Amino acid sequence: MNEFNLHVIGCGSALSMHGRHPSAQVIRYNQLKCLVDCGEGTQDRLKEAGIKSFKIDLILISHLHGDHVFGLPGLLSSFSHLKRTAPLTVFGPVGLKGLLESIITYTSLKVTYPLHIVEHDVDEIREIWSDDEFQICAFPLNHRVPCNGYIFKERKQKARFIKEKVEAHQLTPQQIKAVERGESITVSGKEMAAASFLHPPADLLSYAYCSDTRFDQRIVKWIKGVSVLYHETTFMEDKLDLADQTGHSTARQAAMIAKESDAKCLITGHYSSRYKDLTPLLNEAKAVFHHAWIAEEGKKYDLRSLINRGEY
């Protein structure tokens, strides 16, 4: 079974208060580790979560506001101190390359590993990374500055053998490879379909990251049917005007997006520091979309288990 999990590193907004910190998450799919946003103090939060930052393969930055990017220069510097040699690709909106190159130049930051900075200015959904099993796409969000959302999609499942049947029929390595390719095989003179030896394939999972954004139904078509949606809930509905002015969403609006997109689950986040108790935000979201919960810093969510067991 493919491993697909989310580790929440920071779920606050601009100020670190009430035990919450600026935005950062780690998405892991099998051996691929992807850091999404890198607010101030992210590398310290990664240590607290037991995540080895130098093993991160990709970094995705949603936009260039400080609470999403101020931790990135320090992290890149730490990679050099840790003697990183593996290549690193950093994706983000236009301006990211100039920002990082200026910091590297004016601070004499020594980058000892291949660093690739890829800017993308999207007005539709577009693929930015993929392999045979996994795909990452960027799509535009409606914020005060250019801002990208990201969706992570499983493309296919690895074959899961029924161990008892493999042993009972004493399949050879060549037969096992044929089954993996979906081919029928001959066992004791009888032709048997590959499906006879495999568990039914699990549903393909997806995860969408939407922070920061005004309420914008345009994104529904890009995240339709998503398994798990992370959508910012900076404010409650009584701050609707402030949310629109600042380019943010309310908990009710995030729930509306989750409902319209047929998401299975909603994780709320990017909470304003004005809220010490997050229960009212959760209740506001649940009134529209029941399968919603609060992001918990330091918590790892097994997305497959979450969906399969209905743990929402």
Half-sphere CA count of 136, side-chain side, radius 13 A: 20
Catalytic residue numbers read: 67
Q: Is the pTM of this model over 0.85?
A: yes
Strand 134-141 to 126-130 pairing: antiparallel
Note the CATH architecture for domain 4-157+202-308: 4-Layer Sandwich (3.60)
Q: Walk along the chain (312 residues) and give the pLDDT tens digit of each residue.
A: 688 999 999 999 999 999 999 999 999 999 999 999 999 999 999 999 999 988 999 999 999 999 999 999 999 999 999 999 999 999 999 999 999 999 999 999 999 999 999 998 889 999 999 998 999 999 999 999 999 999 999 987 776 777 888 888 888 888 888 877 788 888 888 888 888 877 676 688 999 999 999 999 999 999 999 999 999 999 999 999 999 999 999 999 999 999 999 999 999 999 999 999 999 999 999 999 999 999 999 999 999 887 765 554
Contacts of 158 (CB under 8 A, 6+ apart): 1, 2, 133
As a whole number of angstroms, the distance between CA 79 and CA 144 comes to 31
Name the helix (H) or strand (E) containing 45: helix 42-48
Beta bridge partners of residue 137, listed in sequence order: 127, 151
As a whole number of angstroms, the distance between CA 219 and CA 299 comes to 27
Residue type, 212: D
Name the helix (H) or strand (E) containing 281: helix 279-286
205 DSSP assignment: P
Residue 294 is encoded by which pair of tokens?
């609060």
Domain residue spans of the chain: 4-157+202-308, 163-197
